[in-house]
Amino acid sequence: MGIEFRGSYTVTVTPFTPGGEKIDYEALKRFLDWQIECGVPGVIILGTTGEFLTLTDDERNDYVEATVKHVNGRMHVLVGAMNAYTPRAAAYAKMAEDLGADGLMILPPYYYTPTEEEIFGYYKAICAATKLPIMLYNNPFTSNVDMSAKLVARLTGAFEQVQYIKEASTDVGRVFDVIKESNGGMKVFAGERIVESFLLGAIGYVDPFGNYIPRATQKLWNLLEAGRIEDAKKIQRHITKIEHTIAEGHPTYGHQCYSKALAALAGYPVGDVRAPLTTFASLGEEGKERLAVLAGVMKELDQLLVDLDKNAAA
């Protein structure tokens, strides 16, 4: 339990061959090397952005094994191990540990809208199956469950493995509430509102934008830790433009469909999404127009990074 997670961790896409038929392991290796080159301290695979629901158990096993083997200790690898069925989630957690993962990110059981006691029992069973550090994942939009600060504090106090949380509710003040309720025991990773979450005590960021602008998101977090808050806000404003462009009119498919298109634009093609998600090609002219806007924002970000470095050196 000696590993410490901190900073901006990319929650990664899963690369697929054309049509989503298979996992593209050559694309995966190139993508992981790029993340390492950009200074990413860790990746989180098989999260929402990674389309975890579309993988078979055999694919999951092979994908985790290939990721851990290729990274080879050069950055942390956390694995999404959530499931609506408690024994299966526990088995996924044990599988990840056996394959050499550094940690886990685990959403509460989805679909059923479980009670707090059912959520507690779920994490209890998972903690009995693994010694890996666990990052809770509070995302009411996808799980239909909003874990209260009191429940998070209870889980933190009850289980040694429960050390982190990705706080992705729409209430940025929850960062402060979780830290307060847990007496500082729970370490919070922002799921959104990066600068604001940092100022409220977050120690990291679970970062979907790292799939295509990893240098910028790493720079943002480094600026925060250096106390350069206003410079960090400049990067965040560009990220907000990206987020709004993707989400406008299409709230459900953005971070899978567009993340893959933008990774390809950045020089690291990772295929497209699996059904039932909307493929980028099916967006037609609208997709092309939005991609052109996003390409412009990414170019502006590249120049901003250069300017920030020049200002720091002056």
How many domains are there within the chain? Answer: 1
Average pLDDT over residues 96-108: 98
pLDDT class for 141, splitting at 50, 70, 90?
confident
In a domain, 297, yes or no: no
pLDDT of 311 over the 90 cut: no
The one catalytic residue among 9, 122, 137, 253: 137
Sequence-separated (6 or more) residues with CB below 8 Å from residue 5: 41, 42, 76, 78, 102, 103, 133, 135, 164, 187, 189, 204
CA-based nearest residue to 158, from 191, 190, 114, 126: 126
Within-domain flag for 249? no
pLDDT-derived band of residue 86, with 50, 70 and 90 as boundaries?
Answer: very high
pLDDT in tens, 49-66: 999 999 999 999 999 999
In DSSP terms, 23 is beta-bridged to: 16
For residue 263, tell me if it sits in a domain.
no
Residue 314, pLDDT score = 67
Q: 251 falls in which pLDDT band (50, 70, 90)? A: low
Supply the pLDDT for residue 247.
85
CA 101 centroid distance within chain: 15
Average pLDDT over residues 277-283: 89
Which residue is catalytic, options 166, 187, 219, 260? 166
Query: Please, which residues have CB within 8 angstroms of residue 223's CB and are 6 or more apart in sequence?
Result: 229, 231, 232, 235, 308
Query: For residue 250, what pLDDT band results from cuts at 50, 70 and 90?
Result: low
Range name among 38-52, 57-71, 133-147 with the lowest pLDDT average: 133-147
- Looking at residues 206-213, what average pLDDT do you find? 97
Mean pLDDT calculated for residue range 135-144: 91
Q: Which domain holds residue 28?
A: 7-228
For residue 170, pLDDT beyond 90: no
- Give mean pLDDT, residues 136-151: 93
Taking 60 as the threshold, does the pLDDT of residue 253 lie above it? no
What six digits make up the tokens of 278?
A: 């909307």
Give the per-residue pLDDT at 5.
Answer: 98
* Domain assignment of residue 296, yes or no: no
The verdict on whether 137 is a catalytic residue reads yes
CATH of the domain at 155: 3.20.20.70
| Burial track 120-139 (b if 16+ CB lie within 10 A, e otherwise) | bebbeebbebbebbbbbbbb
Q: In this structure, is residue 314 part of a structural domain?
A: no
Domain membership of residue 34 (yes or no) is yes
Confidence of residue 150 (pLDDT cuts 50, 70, 90): very high
Q: What is the pLDDT of residue 84?
A: 96
Instruction: Tell whether the model's pLDDT for residue 249 goes beyond 90.
Output: no
